[in-house]
């Protein structure tokens, strides 16, 4: 807590009221304190200016003899604004050796508040400790707190150094504590809580009851998706469209539309946060996709595209009517009557933030008119070169307007993506009519009201997304932050998300300038004349019946589970191990309660704590269908060596379940028992005394089946301590169908890794066996060949393996590598790396020396550290190599083209080589000496592809970033100079580029899909010729790319401008050479994304396969 703020936990020792002989309480502030009150009030209000005062007051407590104070002292109770408080003072500190005095403000709840246990009092307070005679000698500090049933004391563990209070600053300046006297002033400002959650701890917070809305669960990094889904959910018109998508057929149940219907239904009718796993599963995502953050705009586009496909033949324009507007790109000549214009649809608008003051400035920048003159004149067919104006103007705006604020951009100087945190203001309402084309319908309503602000907090690499939404026309704003929904203020919606710098004014300290870490990146505006229609409530009768029937039952079960959780403090869980469970438990110990092999044969009960143990017997009898007089229960305990064993039979039936649990499992919340089922001829058998002094011992028996290599439970047995072990051998043989005279070896399970051989000639007591112990036996007549045929020839060998066994999942390091097999292996954690790779080589059908492993981060679920090439390192050392507290039982593997010994000297480079245009691109891995140069890269590639070795043939390598051209690579450059984040492309330079004619230019051609922001694929160089019509240019582009007809025929070509996010599509009569100068852009191909290669893990674009 900042500035030593601390919650004082209540203690059994009561607060000590002041002693009238040593302290004096003043009911009202003294004269100096009254003067000081106004100053302190101003300081507190300056620190928290956005909250209204409920009350403000102060209290002065004078201490006469500081040296006689107890370790803990308190003032009298005083009142401010109808609330009662008192000061709690520790003159030597909570920890006396700390050297600091501690000071707290305690809130005294009223009788009604104590009874209700539901209150919150928000206070800002300041303490001033001063010299009684010279109040200017003082120490001051402030804090704020929400007093509640959880927190009733708040203050400072280190308010001031004790020596500072007792020491003189100079011979003429007295200490603060002078002659044992001291004054403590408390100033309290009780604040109005406009949202009801100011400084809330959110323990046991219920979003549905507080706001009427529920949140969405975060799967790892799906907060960006959650914020968008909530913004779409509040639009009732959109929800109705989603519900109308046909999903009744069985094949639709795995689709995106059905999953979105389920999600929206649960958001409306569930009472707790809604999971989104079904939705992401319908996208075709695995768990790794859910741990990757993506761009919200891209996610929204892909989601809308998928929904549109689901609506084909039913409501084909439904989404377009909500979200789609139109804009016109134009070039208009100034001196002749000629204009070239194209109208395009838009689903959202990307607005510049950098250099812009507010939303209006961004719109004006978007439609800014550029003058084409001088050398940059526009070529207007029959009119030749003309001065012209170029721009973009809107023809219509949609009912739902999504504005994407460009908060992220690539900084080429810093060679990285950066976040723009500049201050940028947006209004609650705005009129977009000023940005309409003069030819557009001027009667259309262009007034918009803000209903959503999607926020990104943090930096680019470590950020979080949430949404501030206004679900109803007259309703307040709410903050939707994953699982939690809370009321929000207008300041939280607007000012706190403008970005930029702000000042904080801590009381008694200078103001500090800070940079906001959260800012709006997407705005949701609704057209004013359509608001009632857009956010109209969705009634249950518009929801398909097949959806309601399934989901209502799911919600009922979830509510039931929630109720059980809320009432869990009234009940005790009981887990009972049955003989059937023990027989099928092939592991160490009596049972595995964390991961039982078969839940079906372990009994589970939930019973009220005050019920008696006797009430449990009939419940067990009914469950196992055995009369109660044949059942006997035994308490299971956890021994000091952390093993589970029975201790004694349940004999006291009249004690409560809670008492039994506390007696036998005091540190846990579950009562665990073993069920003994007596034979029919032992009905009402008296309880056998198995106390320490008794001669009886109750043992559990296991058998090692060497042939099947497994441990089998063989029931229980009562024995006499002084009998010899061999006395039970005939019965043990009989239990597993062996001849009674079969020689046996017996062992005791003591703990994992510790199995002790038992002497048959000794007694049970001499072998130190007691009730609850587990004996494992095996046949003792296995021959040498029998032992050689088995991996584990003896029970101790199997136990040793089980103690060191670990299940490791192996996943491919890259999803585009040759082997993508994912598998699990059961391994001994002592296995060495060289042995592990040998085992993997058989699984992967490759050389062991070519397998490289990488550990997995347990938190990020991603590749962590490459395992060093040390053949003697063990699997245990590999899994525990990092300093993280938790360990992931997963390893990534790569099959290298070179041995790991050679790899240590080389660097892997992945080059995409364009063999015949872009249609035949191949990803090539080459290992280059780390001190080599770039020419070695081509030499390594040409060794794999000798056809590239052509005399006098010129080749080039270049780097691209974010699907944009980055730079040509000099063949003499050193390998270490290559950008590690760039993608390397290689090709033979086309002949027309080598023999470039006068006035011809070489440009870069890009790929995008519908929007400039959605770049993809590989950019390439291309020669443009002056005066050449685009119809001819298109043919040369076809030859350059070598795309097949089915791909090339659907490509639209355009001139794009990255800075203005503009697109101008080309006709066959256009001259690209001239348009590039006029539009100050570059040539691009608009086509759906079809990557040549699959991306690496953690580098995936958003894809929905549903």
Active-site residue, selected from the candidate residues 144, 200, 451, 464: 464
Told to judge if 223 belongs to the known catalytic residues of this protein, a careful annotator would answer yes
- Sign of CA pseudo-dihedral 115, 117, 123, 125: positive
Residue with the two structure tokens 């206070």: 123
Active-site residue, selected from the candidate residues 83, 123, 145, 223: 223
DSSP bridge pairs for 87: 105
What b/e readout covers 812-848, taking b as 16+ CB neighbours within 10 angstroms? bbbeebeeeeeeeeebbbebbbebbbeebbeebebeb
Report how far residue 343's alpha carbon sits from residue 420's, in angstroms, rounded to the nearest whole number.
31
Structure tokens at 442: 């001027």
Pairing label, strands 890-895, 805-812: parallel
Instruction: Judge whether 88 and 76 are in contact, CB under 8 Å.
Output: no
Instruction: Judge whether 914 and 945 are in contact, CB under 8 Å.
Output: no
3-state SS assignment for residue 450: strand
- Sign of CA pseudo-dihedral 176, 181, 183, 184: positive
3-state SS assignment for residue 143: strand
Give the side-chain half-sphere CA count within 13 A for 963: 22
Report how far residue 522's alpha carbon sits from residue 18's, in angstroms, rounded to the nearest whole number.
58
Query: DSSP assignment of 800-868, as one string?
Result: HHHHHEEEEEEEESSTTSS----EEEEEETT-BHHHHHHHHHHHHTS-GGGEEEEEE-TTT-SEEEEPP
Residue with the two structure tokens 């005294």: 108
Query: DSSP assignment of 67-112, as one string?
Result: GG--SSEE---EEETTEEEEEEEETT-SSGGG-EEEEEEEEE--HH
Instruction: Judge whether 486 and 479 are in contact, CB under 8 Å.
Output: yes
Angle, nearest 10°, between helix axes 223-233 and 296-310? 50
φ, ψ of residue 523 to 5 degrees: the values are: -115, 140
3-state SS assignment for residue 313: coil
Report how far residue 635's alpha carbon sits from residue 582's, in angstroms, rounded to the nearest whole number.
15
φ, ψ of residue 539 to 5 degrees: the values are: -80, 155
Report how far residue 308's alpha carbon sits from residue 314's, in angstroms, rounded to the nearest whole number.
10
Task: For residue 16, give the DSSP letter.
Answer: P
Q: Which of 254, 260, 255 is nearest to 240 (CA)?
A: 260
3-state SS assignment for residue 1055: strand
* Residue 161 region by backbone torsions, left for phi larger than 0, else alpha for psi between -120 and 50, else beta: beta
Residue 575: its H or E element: strand 571-577
Give the helix ranges, DSSP H, for 212-247: 223-233, 236-244
Pairing label, strands 906-916, 983-988: parallel
Told to judge if 963 belongs to the known catalytic residues of this protein, a careful annotator would answer no
Report how far residue 622's alpha carbon sits from residue 319's, in angstroms, rounded to the nearest whole number.
57
Structure tokens at 3: 């500035």
Structure tokens at 211: 């706001």
Give the side-chain half-sphere CA count within 13 A for 1031: 2
Report how far residue 144's alpha carbon sits from residue 155's, in angstroms, rounded to the nearest whole number.
9
Instruction: Judge whether 767 and 775 are in contact, CB under 8 Å.
Output: no
Instruction: Judge whether 144 and 507 are in contact, CB under 8 Å.
Output: no
Pairing label, strands 920-929, 631-638: unpaired
Residue with the two structure tokens 């203050």: 155
Active-site residues, by number, are 223, 464
């Amino acid at each position: 807590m900042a500035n030593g703020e601390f919650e004082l936990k209540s203690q059994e020792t009561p607060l000590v009221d002041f002693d009238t002989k040593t302290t004096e309480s003043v009911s009202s502030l003294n004269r100096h304190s009254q003067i000081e009150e106004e100053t302190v009030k101003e300081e507190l209000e300056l620190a928290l200016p956005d909250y209204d005062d409920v009350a403000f007051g102060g209290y002065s407590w004078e201490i006469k003899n500081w040296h006689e104070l107890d370790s803990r002292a308190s003032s009298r109770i005083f009142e401010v604004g109808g609330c009662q408080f008192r000061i709690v003072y520790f003159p030597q500190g909570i920890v006396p050796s700390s050297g600091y005095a501690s000071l707290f403000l305690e809130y005294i709840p009223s009788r009604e508040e104590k009874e209700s246990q539901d209150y919150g009092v928000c206070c800002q307070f300041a303490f001033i400790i001063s010299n009684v005679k010279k109040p200017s000698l003082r120490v001051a500090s402030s804090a704020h707190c929400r007093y509640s049933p959880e927190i009733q004391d708040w203050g400072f563990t280190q308010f001031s150094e004790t020596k500072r209070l007792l020491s003189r600053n100079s011979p003429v300046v007295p200490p603060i504590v002078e002659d044992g006297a001291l004054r403590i002033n408390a100033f309290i400002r009780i604040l109005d809580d406009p949202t009801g959650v100011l400084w809330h701890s959110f323990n046991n917070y219920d979003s549905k009851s507080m706001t009427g809305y529920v949140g969405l669960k975060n799967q790892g990094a799906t907060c960006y998706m959650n914020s968008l889904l909530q913004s779409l959910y509040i639009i009732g018109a959109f929800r109705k469209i989603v519900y109308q998508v046909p999903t009744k057929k069985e094949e639709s149940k795995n689709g995106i539309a059905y999953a979105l219907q389920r999600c929206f239904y649960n958001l409306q009718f569930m009472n707790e946060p809604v999971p989104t796993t079904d939705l992401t599963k319908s996208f075709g995502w695995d768990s790794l996709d859910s741990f990757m953050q993506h761009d919200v705009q891209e996610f929204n586009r892909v989601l809308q595209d998928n929904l549109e496909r689901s609506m084909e033949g039913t409501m084909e324009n439904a989404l377009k009517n909500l979200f789609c507007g139109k804009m016109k790109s134009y070039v208009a000549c100034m001196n002749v009557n000629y204009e070239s214009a194209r109208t395009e649809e838009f689903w959202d608008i990307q607005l510049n933030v950098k250099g812009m003051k507010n939303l209006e400035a961004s719109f004006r920048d978007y439609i800014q008119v550029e003058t084409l003159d001088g050398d940059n004149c526009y070529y207007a067919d029959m009119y030749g070169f003309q001065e012209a104006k170029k721009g973009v103007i809107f023809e219509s705006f949609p009912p739902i307007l999504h504005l994407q604020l460009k908060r992220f951009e690539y900084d080429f100087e810093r060679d990285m993506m950066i976040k723009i945190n500049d201050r940028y203001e947006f209004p609650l309402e705005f009129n977009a009519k000023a940005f309409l084309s003069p030819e557009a319908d001027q009667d259309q309503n262009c007034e918009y009201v803000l209903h959503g602000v999607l926020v990104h907090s943090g930096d680019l690499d470590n950020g979080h997304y949430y949404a501030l939404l206004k679900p109803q026309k007259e309703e307040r704003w709410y903050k939707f932050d994953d699982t939690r929904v809370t009321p929000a203020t207008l300041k939280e919606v607007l000012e706190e998300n403008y970005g930029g710098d702000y000042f904080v004014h801590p009381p008694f300290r200078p103001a500090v300038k800070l940079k906001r870490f959260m800012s709006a990146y997407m705005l949701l505006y609704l057209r004013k004349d359509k608001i009632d229609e857009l956010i109209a409530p969705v009634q249950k009768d518009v929801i398909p019946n097949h959806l309601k029937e399934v989901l209502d039952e799911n919600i009922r079960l979830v509510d039931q589970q929630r109720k059980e959780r809320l009432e869990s403090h009234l009940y005790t869980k009981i887990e009972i191990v049955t003989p059937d469970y023990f027989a099928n438990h092939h592991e160490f110990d009596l049972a595995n309660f964390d991961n039982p092999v078969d839940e079906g044969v372990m009994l589970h009960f939930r019973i009220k704590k005050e019920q008696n143990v006797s009430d449990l017997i009939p419940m067990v009898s009914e469950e196992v269908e055995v009369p109660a007089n044949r059942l006997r229960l035994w308490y299971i305990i956890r021994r000091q060596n952390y093993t589970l064993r029975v201790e004694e039979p349940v004999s006291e039936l009249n004690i409560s379940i809670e008492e039994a649990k506390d007696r036998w499992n005091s540190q846990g919340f579950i009562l665990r028992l073993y069920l003994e089922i007596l034979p029919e001829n032992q009905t009402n058998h008296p309880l056998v005394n198995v106390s320490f002094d008794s001669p009886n011992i109750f043992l559990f028996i296991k058998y090692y089946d060497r042939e099947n290599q497994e441990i089998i439970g063989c029931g229980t047995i009562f024995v006499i301590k002084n009998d010899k072990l061999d006395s039970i051998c005939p019965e043990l043989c009989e239990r597993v169908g062996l001849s009674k005279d079969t020689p046996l070896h017996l062992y005791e399970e003591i703990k994992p890794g510790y199995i002790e051989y038992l002497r048959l000639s000794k007694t049970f007591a001499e072998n130190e066996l007691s009730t609850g112990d587990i004996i494992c036996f095996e046949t003792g007549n296995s021959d040498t060949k029998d032992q050689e045929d088995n991996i584990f020839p003896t029970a101790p060998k199997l136990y040793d393996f089980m103690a060191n066994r670990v299940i490791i999942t192996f996943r491919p390091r890259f999803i585009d590598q040759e082997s993508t097999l994912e598998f699990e292996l059961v391994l001994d954690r002592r296995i060495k790396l060289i042995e592990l790779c040998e085992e993997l080589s058989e699984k992967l059908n490759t050389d062991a020396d070519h397998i490289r492993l990488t550990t997995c981060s347990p938190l990020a679920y991603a590749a962590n550290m490459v395992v060093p090439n040390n053949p003697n390192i063990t699997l245990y050392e590999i899994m525990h190599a990092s300093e993280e507290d938790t360990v992931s039982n997963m390893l990534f593997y790569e099959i290298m083209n070179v041995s790991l010994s050679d790899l240590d000297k080389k660097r892997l480079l992945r080059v995409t080589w364009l063999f015949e245009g872009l249609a035949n691109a191949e990803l090539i891995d080459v290992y280059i000496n780390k001190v080599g140069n770039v020419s070695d890269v081509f030499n390594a590639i040409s060794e794999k592809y000798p056809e590239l070795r052509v005399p006098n043939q010129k080749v080039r390598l270049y780097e691209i970033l974010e699907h944009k051209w980055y730079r040509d690579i000099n063949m003499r450059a050193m390998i270490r100079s290559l950008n590690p984040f760039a993608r390397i492309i290689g090709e033979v330079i086309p002949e027309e580029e080598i023999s470039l004619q006068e006035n011809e230019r070489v440009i870069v051609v890009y790929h995008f899909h519908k929007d400039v922001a959605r770049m993809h694929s590989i950019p390439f160089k291309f020669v443009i010729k002056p005066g050449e019509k685009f119809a001819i240019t298109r043919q040369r582009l076809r030859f350059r790319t070598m795309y097949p007809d089915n791909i090339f025929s659907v490509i639209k070509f355009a001139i794009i401008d990255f800075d203005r996010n503009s697109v101008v599509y080309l006709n066959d009569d256009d001259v690209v050479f001239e348009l590039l100068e006029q539009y100050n852009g570059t040539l691009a191909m608009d086509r759906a994304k079809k990557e040549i290669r699959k991306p690496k893990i953690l580098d995936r674009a958003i894809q929905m396969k549903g």
